[in-house]
Structure 1
Amino acid sequence: MFEQSRYVGSRSDRQSGPTPRNGSCMLILGIETSTEVCSVGLADEHGLVAERSVVESHIHSEKLLTLMADVLQSAGASPGELSAVAVSIGPGSFSGLRIGLSTAKGLCYARGIPLVAVPTMASVASSAFEEHDEWLSIVIALDAKQGEFYAGRFSRSTERITEIPVRVYPRDELVGMIRESDIVLTDVADGLQEEGERRRRVFHTRTFMSGATIALLGRQLFREERIADLQHIEPMYLKNFIVRTAKKA
C-alpha cells in the first residue's frame, strides 16, 4: 500500500476574515475513488490546501472517511465549513465510483451543501497537462474488464475530448486508433504497450489521479454553478453492471 500526504496551509495560514460558514469564501472537498487510488483533496479560493492519498485495491470503503477527516483536520477546517463536495463521477471501477458518490452525497445531504460531479478522465487530462508541458495529445484508457477499455483522447489546445469520444472500446479497436504522437495513460499498461518507442510513451494513470485535482476542478464548476442533481445523480458507468453467480457443482 502506498500513502501520500500534501499540506499547503490551513485557512488561517492563507487568509484572514470570516469562515466559509458566513459565505465569504470557498472551501471544496474533492473525492477520487474511480480506480485503485483513494484520494481526498481540499481547495479554497486561493488553490490547494491539503491532500491525502492511498493507493491499494479494495480499500476505499475502509479508508475514505479517514482520509476526509485527516484532510479537514490538517487544514484546520470542519465539515460545516465546506461550500461543496466534488466527486470523480466516472468512468472507472463500479464499486469505487459507488463508494465515492454515496459518501459525497451523504455529506452533502447532512450539511445541506451542493454536489459537483467531475468527469474522471477530464481530471486525469488536466493533471497530466499541468505536469507535462511537452505533452500535446493524450489517450486515457481505463480497464473496463473483458478485454475492453473506457477511453478518450484529449488535446492540450482545448483540454477537451477530440477525435475519440469517451466510451467503451475493445482493445484491438483502441490500439488501432492510437497515433504515434499520442501519450497513453492507462491503469493496465501491459494491455497497451508495445516494443520500442511505444513502451516509452505509456504511463500509469495513478500518477495523475488525485483528490486535489478533483477539488480544484470542482471549484471551477462550482463557480460556474454547474451543480449536480443530488437526488438523481448516478456514476458514469458507460457499461452495464454484470452480476456473476458461482456455478453449482
Structure 2
Amino acid sequence: MLLLSIDTSIRGCSVAVHNETGLLAAYDLFTDKSSSAMLTTLMRDSITHAGFELSDIDAIAVAKGPGSYTGLRVGVSTAKGLCYALDKPLVAINTLQAMALQLAPFFPGHLFCPMIDARRMEVYAAVLDENNAFVQETQAVIMNEHSFEDLLAHHKVVFFGDGAAKCKPILEKHSNAVFPAIDIKPSARTVGQLGAIAFEKGQFEDVASFEPYYLKDFMSPAPRKASTLVQ
C-alpha cells in the first residue's frame, strides 16, 4: 500500500505519504493561500522524496472537514482530480478525528476535544476517547460557560486546535479542563494513519458525488447598501 494524504482544513496545507510500514514523507506549510498555490508542489515533492512517482500510489486520503470552506474545497477538488486522472480510490477522513490522534498517546485516560475556529464564539468541535472513537459527534458549538460541563464533571478533557484559544477563558475554570501548551494543527500525517486503516477495510468514497464536510453552509458577507445621494 502506498497512500498519499492531503489536509487543507485550515490556513495552509499538509501532505504526507505512508506505506504499510508507516510514514515515509511529510510536508506542512501554514501560510495564507498556500493550499491553492503550493499544494500540488508539496504533493509532487513528498512523493519524489519518498522514492516514488504519483502513478505508484494506491489511493488518496483527504481531510473532509470540518474547516475552512475555501481550504476544504481546494483539498477535496485536488484529491478528486488526482483520483480521476490516476484511476485511484478516494478515502475521506474527519479532520477533527485525525487531530485527536495526534495527542492521544500523550494523555492516557483523557477525552479529546479538537476545535477549529468558526468565527465569533463558535467552534467546530467533537469529543473522542483515547481509542479515537467519538463520544460526541462533530458539531458547531457556540461557546458559553455551560459548554461541555457534563463531560467535565466526570472526565479530564483535552481542548486543543485553533478554536481552543478563544474558549480557554471560559473553560479553564474547570479543574478537568486541560489546554496543552503546544499548538496542534490539522495534519496529513494522522489523516494518513486513519486513511491506511480505511484503505485496508475498503472504505472508499464515490469520487463523482463526494463533497467536503462543510458542516455549515458558506455565508458570504452581505453586500453593502448603496448610499443615498443627498440632493
Fold-level similarity (TM above 0.5) = yes
Aligned ranges for residues 114-125 of structure 1 at < 5 Å?
114-125=89-100
- Residue 244 of structure 1 deviates from its aligned partner by 1.9
Q: TM-score, normalised by structure 2?
A: 0.87
Distance 2:58 2:182 in 1: 29
Q: What SS does structure 1 have at the residue aligned with 2:91?
A: strand
Residues 98-130 of structure 1: CA deviation (Å, up to 9, x unaligned) = 000000000000000000001111101112113
Report what 1:154 is aligned to. Answer: 128
Structure 1 unaligned residues grouped into runs of 5+: 1-25
Q: What SS does structure 2 have at the residue aligned with 1:138?
A: strand
Q: TM-score, normalised by structure 1?
A: 0.81
The one of 96, 100, 115 equivalent to 2:75 is 100
Aligned ranges for residues 196-207 of structure 1 at < 5 Å?
201-203=178-180, 207=184
Report what 1:4 is aligned to. Answer: none
Structure 2 contact 64–94 (Cα < 8 Å) conserved = yes
Report what 1:179 is aligned to. Answer: 152
Report what 2:213 is aligned to. Answer: 236
2:137 corresponds to 1:165: yes
Structure 2 contact 93–195 (Cα < 8 Å) conserved = yes
Report what 2:108 is aligned to. Answer: 134
Distance 1:217 1:228 in 2: 14
Structure 1 contact 90–119 (Cα < 8 Å) conserved = yes
Aligned AA (1:125): A
2:42 corresponds to 1:70: no
- Residue 214 of structure 1 deviates from its aligned partner by 1.2
- Residue 245 of structure 1 deviates from its aligned partner by 4.1
Distance 1:28 1:214 in 2: 10
Aligned AA (2:39): L
Distance 2:36 2:138 in 1: 27
Aligned AA (1:78): E
Residues 156-200 of structure 1: CA deviation (Å, up to 9, x unaligned) = 1x32111x32111111153645627211012034311136777x8
- Residue 35 of structure 1 deviates from its aligned partner by 1.1
Structure 2 unaligned residues grouped into runs of 5+: none
Aligned AA (2:16): G
Structure 1 contact 185–204 (Cα < 8 Å) conserved = no
The alignment of Structure 1 onto Structure 2 pairs a total of residues equal to 221
